[in-house]
Copies of this chain bind each other. A is one copy, B any other.
Amino acid sequence: MDKPSNTADDILAAARSFIVAGGYNGFSYADIAEVVGIRKASIHHHFPSKVDLVQTLVRRYLEDAVTGMTELERNVPESPRLLRTYAGFWAQCIEDASRPICVCALLASELPALPPEVAVEVRAYFQFLSGWLTGVIERGAAQGTLTIAAAPRVEAEAFMATVHGAMISARAYGDVLTFGMILASTLQKLIPAPD
C-alpha cells in the first residue's frame, strides 16, 4: 500500500523543480537524468516525450490542487480563514524556498510557446483555481464574513492575479517577505473585522 521507490515520481519531481526555475525550455532530459541518477534514454521509458512528461506533471499538479482545496475546505469552512490559509501556504513555500512559484503561473506566462497539450492543462488549472476562489468569496460575501466591492468572480480573478504577481515580485526582489507583505494588505481589504 505504501509507495515503492518510484523513478517516474523522481523524474516528475526533478522536472518540476527545473520548470519552476526556468520554464518549459529551461531544462533538458540530460538535466533530469543527472539529478535522478539514471541515463537520459531511461527517461523516455517512463515518459516517451517531453510533452508527455510535462503534461503528466501539470495534470497531476491540478489533481493535487483539487484534492488539497477540497480537503482544506472541509477542515476550514470559513472564507476568511480559507483565503488566509491559501495565501499562507504560498508564503511558506516561498520562505522555505521549497516551491518559490506556482508551476502553472510560470507556464501560463510563456503559454504561446508551449506545446498545445501542455497549454490546455495549464488553462484547466487557472479555471479550477479561479472557480474555487469565486465560490469561497461568494460564500464569504453571502455570510458577511468578507467585504467585496465587485462581483465574486471579479474579486476572485483579482485575488488570483495578485497572488501570481506577488510570486513574481518576490522572485524579482529576491526577498521572501515581499509576498507576505502584499498578501497581508490584499486580505485586509477583503476581511472586515480585524481581531
Contact = CB atoms under 8 A, between A and B. Distances in A.
B111 A172 contact: yes
Interface stretch (A53-61, A78-86, A149-157): A149-157
In the complex, the count of this chain's copies comes to 2
Nearest to A150: B185
A166 B170 CA distance: 16
A46 interface: no
A172 B126 contact: yes
Among A161, A174, A178, residue most surrounded by chain B Cβ atoms (within 10 Å): A161
B185 A158 contact: yes
Interface residues of A, number: 49
A30 to B, nearest CB: 14
Contacts of A22: 23-25, 110, 112-114
Given A182-B154, A182-B158, A185-B158, A112 B165 contact: no
A155 B161 CA distance: 15
Shortest 9 CB-CB distances between A and B: which pairs? A22-B113, A161-B165, A165-B165, A25-B25, A164-B165, A150-B185, A108-B172, A126-B172, A161-B166
Interface of A: 21-26, 100-101, 104-106, 108-114, 122-123, 126, 130, 149-150, 154-155, 157-158, 160-169, 171-174, 178, 181-182, 185-186, 188-189
